[in-house]
Structure 1
Amino acid sequence: MNYIQANHVLRSTSECGPFSGTYRVVLVNQQTDRLWIIQFTYADGGAISHLRMPRCYSVRAIELLIRQLSVDIVEDAAPAEWLQSDAQIQARYGRFNDAQRCSQLRRRDVRWSVIEPIVTRHTPFELLECGLYQGVVGSRAAELGVCVKKVAGILNLYWAGGGNVNALLPRFHNSGARGQIRIQRKKLGRPNIAARNSMPELEGFLIGEEDRQRLRFGWETFVRPGKTVGSAYRRTMEAFYRAETASEEGEQVPILKPAHERPTLRQFRYWGNGGNTRKSATYLQLFDGDFERNFRALPGTARDGINAIGQIAYCDATSNDVHLVSAVSRIKPVGTLSRIKIVDGLTGLWAGIYCGFDSPSTKTALMAAANAAMDKVDFCARFDVEISSDMWPAIAFARYLGDNGEFRSEPCKQSISGIGSTLEFAPAGRADSKGPVESSHRQLHSRLDHKLEGTTYGRARRRGEDHPALDAVLTYFEYMRHLIRRIVHYNNYERCEHLLTTEMRRDGVTPTRISIYWWCVENGYIAGAPPSADAIRAHLLPALPAVLTGSGIYLVRPDRGRKIELISGARFVGEVLLKKGLMLRARGRHEQVEVRGDPQDLRRIWLVFEGIHELKNVSLDSLAVREWTLADHLSVQDGDALARHLAKTELDQDESALDSALFADIDKAKQEKRRELDRQVEPLSKKQRTANIRRNRDEEKELMWRGDDKPGKSPNAEPAVGGVSESLLPPRSSPRPKSHSPALDLLRNFGKNRRTK
């Protein structure tokens, strides 16, 4: 196998090699085992000013040294000027609006004209293998009237450059000792006004090595956010270039040296950063993270390194920028919502969301992750949006990338690891590290939130401007319906041709995110399947305090501290409570339990007891079960409690009035009963008074059926005692005319006979 070819660059890696330095292969003749190479750098890497004629070696011997690692074939690092076109060189070195060719191109063309007849008429094989080199070079030198050394040097330079005409360019790129700091013996730059007016002693300050170090130290120390370069310059002069220190009014004031004995502001700017762009004033005056967030170069995209769906999720929280109203009254504003989004890193699919009244926290972050990992058909159906499982898939991600806010907590880490995933955090102040979810916030704000009545437009209220809550009209249930519609439209119908790969285009994939998602699933571009719904509910849904009673499980208000106050509209019953006898056991003594559920959806909760079991809300108010959130329940319960408290005075007054009327009738009835007892001839015993109760009841029923007046009703009754108004007493029937009753006559005769005996 042939290792060496023309234009290869060889470098010796051992002192025992046949040559030292770097050589370029000019000609390889395998038949005669001859290799012609020309040296263009020394062993230390320094360039050779005058190139010698190519040398001849054995091809097999050099290939053996290559196998022994004594000689290396290295990459050809050509100077940048060799790769530029004439137009680029002219634009770089030529004068503006000058039709003449620049000095570099003119010198190159002169050199090329010297060797052009040689290169075009003879091949390297003829010149080197056939021995025509000396004769051809000598003839061309005689023809031009120049020395042979000049023609040979240009030809050798052309070969050392690999046959590139631009190798004949003058080496201006090395001019000025690039990277080397010169020792100044004379002030650089044009003379100042003092030197122009015959005052050489005031021509300016000469910068030395120590001065450069001082200026760099002052630059790095005093150029800071909020500080100008001028103020940093003065602090540097006070630190290193002061003549003395004077005391003025008890303060130590530095006295600076004269201007010509210290560096100028321009010298401070030039030597302060030392040519390092990372130490420029613009960079140093930025606050932490400003450069990386707003000014750094963007060599890649957010999808770099992501090749499967479910590989990484970008997570972030924001406000919905819209004031809402209560579910029970549209004139009762309830404020804005907090929203957390989960976005797939590969497709940009909006995989999950939390939107509720609770501020961003560990609980809400896990609820967003749970929403992304579970089927959302029932979630959308609650808000009257019909979808299929294919339109909004369930995705449990291998990695969740959040910021240092709601996701950064130990319970959140443990819950995420409980479903087999990991949690990562973006650097503080680096929102650009999760750009896809940040851009999704802006899209949703502009497409939905800022179009609604009551929007804040994402800014504070200006002076004199009405509060946006005055215009709020939508309830939480109505807002969520439109939010879900926007998400479904974005995932299923918005076009995204920029996400299509060649494979997708060949398979005719529709340029929508959901189509790309299912194509990735079918072709194996997926990080893993989501865990079971029970595992997600057990680990990601928040724990809700509850009490187990004989009539079911009631949720407990979370805002009462250690006091247990039940939520009246949140009673849950399930089959497990009956089968396991939990409700029967709790009839004697209530038990505090912990359930899992979504505070924004109280249609059902889950009890973790020998597995996870679903319990349904059995409240009679079906609309409240469907639409109300936990915040709505608490608000209504607080409103009812306040209304009861405010009505307590009136209710007590009504109760007192009713009691007064009752007690007045009782007193009057007692008096009549006492008078009737006093009219008896003989006192009646207790036994006589309680005898024949059943017969008396029958007679009373007969009297009632016949329409007689109630016994004991006096037609000349006096007004109720106590001054109680008749309007507060129960309504009374109008007096009826007395009717003849045989039964009453019989009773009267019976009474008369007893008295005569």
Structure 2
Amino acid sequence: MLAQHSVIDTLGAYGRLKVVWTDWSKDAVFTVDVDDPTSTPETHIGEELEREVVVNGWKVEAGQAPAFIPDHVYIGSAEGNKRARKRAEARTKHLKLRDEAWAIVEPLLATTDVFDRKHRAELVASASTAAIAAGKRGASAATINNNLMKVFHGGMAKDALRPSYEECGNPGDPRPVCEGGKKSGPAPKDGNPRGTPVTEAMKKVFRVGFDLHDAVGKVKLVDAFHHCLRVGFWDAVQKLRQEFGKKIPDAAYERLGLPRYEQFVYHYHRERKRWKAEIKRLGKSVYARRHRPLLGNSTDEAWGPGARYQIDATQIDVYARSRRNRRRLVWRPTLYVVVDVWTRMIVGFALSLDPPSWIGAMTALANAMTSKVEFCAKYGVEIDEEDWPTQHLCAILEGDNGEMKSSGVLGLISQFGVTVGNVTAYRPDWKGIVERRFGLIHAMLKPHVPGFVHADFRERGAEDYRLETAYDLDELTRAIIICVLHYNNRHRIEDYPLLPEMIADKVPAVPAEMWRWGVAALGLPQRAHPEAVKFALLEQGTAVCRRTGLFFKGASYSFADAVDDGWFDKVSMTGRGSVPISFDRRFTDVIYVHDARAPFGFRVAELTDSRFGGASFWELADEQKEANATAAWADLRETAEGIVADKELDDDRRRAQAAMARTPPAPSAAAETSGIREATREEREFDMVEQVSEYHADMSPHATPAPTVLPSACPAAEAAQGRQSNDNHATPSLADRLKGRN
């Protein structure tokens, strides 16, 4: 059954019909066209209209009565400034006009005859006559008819007659101003220049200044205003100077039509929208860091201790001394800090001379997820577990895009189920918790650490703070440990959103106190063995299994279980294999082979080639790069010289073949190949004279033996006389050798 406020989509046949009223006692349905606010009601037989809906497949949407703002909300508060009071007074008058119009229209709605055109005209005429006689406002027949149309389209409610002056004109669009017309806006105060109408031509001049301010970014609005005045009014001012000289009266200046600075600023913000202009001037990332809306806090993203960690790195503002020579300055160390979002507690850190990379992040995360007692004792700080209780895994880890793309995070994901989030570049505000910790640590270090770099470091004549540096890396680490312990256990965080339960339990906004309360109330985070944590944080790779061992980045490794299990024997029969491993780029002596059967999921493979011991994989890569370059040059020289050698060998072959061609041929192939042994003996005896002479020429000039006289008969002729040939190349016997000397 069709209900009031329903909308019938006739699929283009009659438009979209809105049910204004229903009278099922008469089986009547009254509708208007939703998309035409001037349409008059039409009467339908309810049963036939429902049949049309079913037969034609029209769509019926269940509508709702229009919602109007309550009167007290519409009026608003009359307290406050003058503008609020005026608005309240005006809206009170609006409601009075609504009530007066409704008092005339309401009696007409008591009968369904008002929906019929003929009867409606009679009712409106009668109501108009009565209203005029009573001296009421808005009593003309046309006004009453218009109000009826508003009621029909407005849900048959009284508030449909509320005046809507805010829809008049072009709301939001500036009124056009003609040349010489009246200036828009409030009148100037007494004694101030009147200003000038801002026409379209004036706006074009303004836009020159707008573009200068937006494009360059360093030009202030007032300077941009002066620039556009120079562009637009230079000629007019020059004429005034020529006319009046140096003493130009104020009235003459006013006749120039110079705009006021306030007009320039008003139109700038109206056209450019200040926040959009700031994004254009500063860039999206800088604007997001400085001026973005702060609609939430990072604590809402965590549900308790260990839920979410943030990690980031910065170079601390102090140089360091070498631990081997105090007189040697080294670069500013890199500090990695890991912070628990829910408690704001610094759960771990790492200080090193390495630039920001996964190596530093790995060390800081290992520190965050393991006990701190031995770590602090190494630097001379004695603590208990309660002083720094964080040695747990996290559920979510957020870091920079570079570090979080390293293969080292794969272990955290696969072994402990940690969710890793990458923060886009140039958006440190997305890790605002950890970014703020850097400032706190710097603030604590600055008064006590000598050589702290100040803001005037690079200014001319400023003091060179590097010369005051006295701490080495270990001493700086100890200082940071002291700062972290003080922050975790004593520092109260301002504006921390404490939970109602924390307030009831009188928990101060101190990181350690909130950690202990959170662990007791929400549960202890997951904890793992230190060896498993450190193994999970290492970078991952693949080692190739060969007969010579496990080959990884140019070095070979092996371990006892691999030999016992016959890894390298199988490879000789099946070909190469590969195994997943983890490694530390700083150390080539060992790699860790993944093995689910091992206690912590790995086995230690040691380096088998002592040449690479004690080096890093960076050094190994450099050596291989240099060796490959040397080999490439050697191959190039070999190729070039091989061309020359090939040419010489080819020439010798041709000369030898030419000499053979000039030599008379043998009677037969058998005659040429027979007697090889005898020919070899005779040739050796002949060559021996030259060899002995050459060998002893420098030592004994008389060591030259007499040449052996060779027979003149050729092997071919001897073979033809029936001598037995010996061409089996066998070694001659002693008798044969003595016979040959006779």
**TM-score after normalising by structure 1:** 0.50
Q: Distance in 2 between matches of 1:81 and 1:277?
A: 33
* 1:331-730 mapped onto 2 (5 Å cutoff): 337-346=333-342, 348-376=344-372, 378-380=374-376, 382=378, 383-387=381-385, 391-402=389-400, 407=403, 424-446=421-443, 448-450=444-446, 452-454=448-450, 456=452, 459-460=455-456, 467=465, 470=468, 475-476=475-476, 478-486=478-486, 488-489=488-489, 498-500=497-499, 512-516=514-518, 519-521=521-523, 533-540=530-537, 608=592, 611-612=602-603
Q: Distance in 2 between matches of 1:385 and 1:597?
A: 30
Q: Distance in 1 between matches of 2:290 and 2:25?
A: 63
One-letter amino acid matched to 1:498: P
1:230–1:265 Cα contact (<8 Å) kept? yes
Quote the sequence identity (%).
16
Given candidates 223, 246, 265, the residue that maps to 2:214 is 223
**Does the alignment pair 1:171 with 2:164?**
yes
Partner residue of 1:106?
A: 93
* 1:27-426 mapped onto 2 (5 Å cutoff): 42-43=35-36, 48=38, 58=46, 70-73=59-62, 84-88=73-77, 95=83, 102-116=89-103, 126-128=110-112, 134=123, 137=127, 142-144=133-135, 146-151=139-144, 153-154=146-147, 157=150, 160-161=153-154, 167-178=160-171, 186=179, 189-190=182-183, 207=200, 219=210, 223-224=214-215, 225-228=217-220, 275-277=271-273, 282-286=278-282, 289-303=285-299, 312-320=308-316, 337-346=333-342, 348-376=344-372, 378-380=374-376, 382=378, 383-387=381-385, 391-402=389-400, 407=403, 424-426=421-423
1:368, distance to aligned residue in structure 2 (A): 1.7
Q: Distance in 2 between matches of 1:536 and 1:42?
A: 67
One-letter amino acid matched to 1:314: Q
Q: Distance in 2 between matches of 1:96 and 1:505?
A: 39
Q: Distance in 1 between matches of 2:488 and 2:48?
A: 70
Q: Distance in 2 between matches of 1:83 and 1:38?
A: 31
Q: 1:360 is paired with a residue of what secondary structure?
A: coil
1:322–1:456 Cα contact (<8 Å) kept? yes
2:299–2:342 Cα contact (<8 Å) kept? yes
Q: 2:218 is paired with a residue of what secondary structure?
A: coil
1:431, distance to aligned residue in structure 2 (A): 1.9
Q: Distance in 2 between matches of 1:539 and 1:391?
A: 21
One-letter amino acid matched to 1:486: H
Q: 1:176 is paired with a residue of what secondary structure?
A: coil
- Cα distance change of structure 1 residues 538 and 412 upon mapping to structure 2, 3 Å threshold: closer
One-letter amino acid matched to 2:168: S
Partner residue of 1:715?
A: none
1:437, distance to aligned residue in structure 2 (A): 1.4
- Cα distance change of structure 1 residues 63 and 306 upon mapping to structure 2, 3 Å threshold: farther
Q: Distance in 1 between matches of 2:281 and 2:424?
A: 20
One-letter amino acid matched to 1:608: Y
Q: Distance in 2 between matches of 1:389 and 1:101?
A: 61
Q: Distance in 1 between matches of 2:99 and 2:45?
A: 29
Unaligned runs of 5+ in 2: 185-195, 236-254, 541-558, 565-580, 595-601, 607-742
Q: Distance in 2 between matches of 1:268 and 1:471?
A: 53
Q: Distance in 1 between matches of 2:354 and 2:445?
A: 18
1:60, distance to aligned residue in structure 2 (A): 10
- Cα distance change of structure 1 residues 351 and 238 upon mapping to structure 2, 3 Å threshold: same
Q: Distance in 2 between matches of 1:342 and 1:118?
A: 72
1:364, distance to aligned residue in structure 2 (A): 0.7
Q: Deviations over 1:144-166 (max 9, x none)?
A: 45335534644664675557766
1:52, distance to aligned residue in structure 2 (A): 5.5
Q: 1:391 is paired with a residue of what secondary structure?
A: coil
1:109, distance to aligned residue in structure 2 (A): 0.9
2:593–2:605 Cα contact (<8 Å) kept? no
Q: 1:456 is paired with a residue of what secondary structure?
A: coil
Q: Distance in 1 between matches of 2:60 and 2:408?
A: 58
1:387, distance to aligned residue in structure 2 (A): 0.6
One-letter amino acid matched to 1:174: E
One-letter amino acid matched to 1:42: D
Q: Distance in 2 between matches of 1:64 and 1:513?
A: 69
Q: Distance in 2 between matches of 1:3 and 1:276?
A: 50
Q: Deviations over 1:383-442 (max 9, x none)?
A: 4211169931412444433266xx277566767767665655434332212112122333
Q: Deviations over 1:235-271 (max 9, x none)?
A: 989999999xxxxxxxxxxxxxxx9999999988777
C-alpha RMSD of the superposition: 6.2
1:366, distance to aligned residue in structure 2 (A): 2.0
Q: 2:271 is paired with a residue of what secondary structure?
A: coil
The alignment covers a number of residue pairs equal to: 514
Unaligned runs of 5+ in 1: 192-202, 244-258, 544-575, 582-593, 616-757
One-letter amino acid matched to 1:449: L
1:394–1:530 Cα contact (<8 Å) kept? yes
Q: Distance in 2 between matches of 1:344 and 1:55?
A: 69
Q: Distance in 2 between matches of 1:274 and 1:369?
A: 50
One-letter amino acid matched to 2:390: W
**Does the alignment pair 1:14 with 2:16?**
no
368-377 or 76-85, which deviates more? 76-85
1:284, distance to aligned residue in structure 2 (A): 3.9
- Cα distance change of structure 1 residues 517 and 496 upon mapping to structure 2, 3 Å threshold: farther
More helix per residue: 2
Q: Distance in 2 between matches of 1:289 and 1:278?
A: 17
One-letter amino acid matched to 1:86: I
Q: Distance in 1 between matches of 2:262 and 2:397?
A: 51
**TM-score after normalising by structure 2:** 0.51
Q: Distance in 2 between matches of 1:64 and 1:90?
A: 56
Q: Distance in 2 between matches of 1:380 and 1:60?
A: 89
Q: Distance in 2 between matches of 1:450 and 1:123?
A: 83
Q: 2:336 is paired with a residue of what secondary structure?
A: strand
Q: 1:14 is paired with a residue of what secondary structure?
A: coil
Q: 2:298 is paired with a residue of what secondary structure?
A: coil
Q: Distance in 1 between matches of 2:302 and 2:386?
A: 27
One-letter amino acid matched to 2:479: Y
